[in-house]
Amino acid sequence: MSRVPLIDPAEADDRVGPLLGRIDGAFGTVPNMFRAVANSPAALQSMWGAFGAFSTGSLGAALTEQIAVAVADRNRCRYCLAAHTALGGNAGLSEESLAAAQRARSDDPRTEALLAFAVELVEHRGQVDAQSVEALRAHGWSDEQIVETVAQVALNLFTNYINIALDVPVDFPEVAFQG
């Protein structure tokens, strides 16, 4: 049971109601995570704004979802793992590639390097060395993509922490942890 109320979009005040309406338009429903975050209009605006900004980012939808499942698996976030696995499928990723991404693995060495970096950021709380960044450049990742990866990891930490700390009920098909 959620540790905060899940805001009913039909009963939301004018600070979060319009935004929940846009979320409903994007998903066809308002997922529980957004209903929990709606307790804070500022947090909801921040989260939704970040998702919107990254939708036009340099990494693309599939890689963004691979990063999200890698971070969710590492942090043991059931909600985010389930949600991003479903979204990854919508982005054209196979079940096998999403399961591999949970372990920071990929058939593509370039993608695997980026996923390993994302997990390194999580495990070392951002304390990575210069060689880690240079290894990404050696795989052909641009500085824009490297910075966006750090930002993606930060956004996923935010959503992981919301869902774990507030025990948000999972409303996507559950997925087993790999790591």
**pLDDT by residue (tens digit) across 48-60?**
999 999 999 999 9
CATH number belonging to domain 60-165? 1.20.1290.10
- In this predicted structure, the answer to whether residue 179 has a pLDDT above a threshold of 90 is no
SS3 content of the chain, % helix, strand, coil (to 5): 65, 0, 35
Which phi-psi region, left, alpha or beta, contains residue 27 (left: φ > 0; alpha: ψ -120 to 50)? Answer: alpha
Listed in sequence order, the residues at least 6 apart from 50 whose beta carbon sits closer than 8 Å to its beta carbon are: 151, 155, 158
CB atoms near residue 79 (< 10 Å)? 25
- Rounded to whole angstroms, the Cα distance separating 73 from 68 reads 8
Tens digits of residue pLDDT in 89-139: 999 999 999 999 999 999 999 999 999 999 999 999 999 999 999 999 999
* 142-158 average pLDDT score: 98
Can you tell me the mean pLDDT for 2-30? 96
pLDDT digits (tens, 9 = 90+) for 57-90: 999 999 999 999 999 999 999 999 999 999 999 9
Q: What is the pLDDT of residue 113?
A: 98
**Positions of CATH 1.20.1290.10 in the chain:** 60-165
- The CA R_g of the chain, rounded to the nearest whole Å, is 16
Whose tokens are 């591999």? That residue is 100
DSSP 3-state of 63: helix
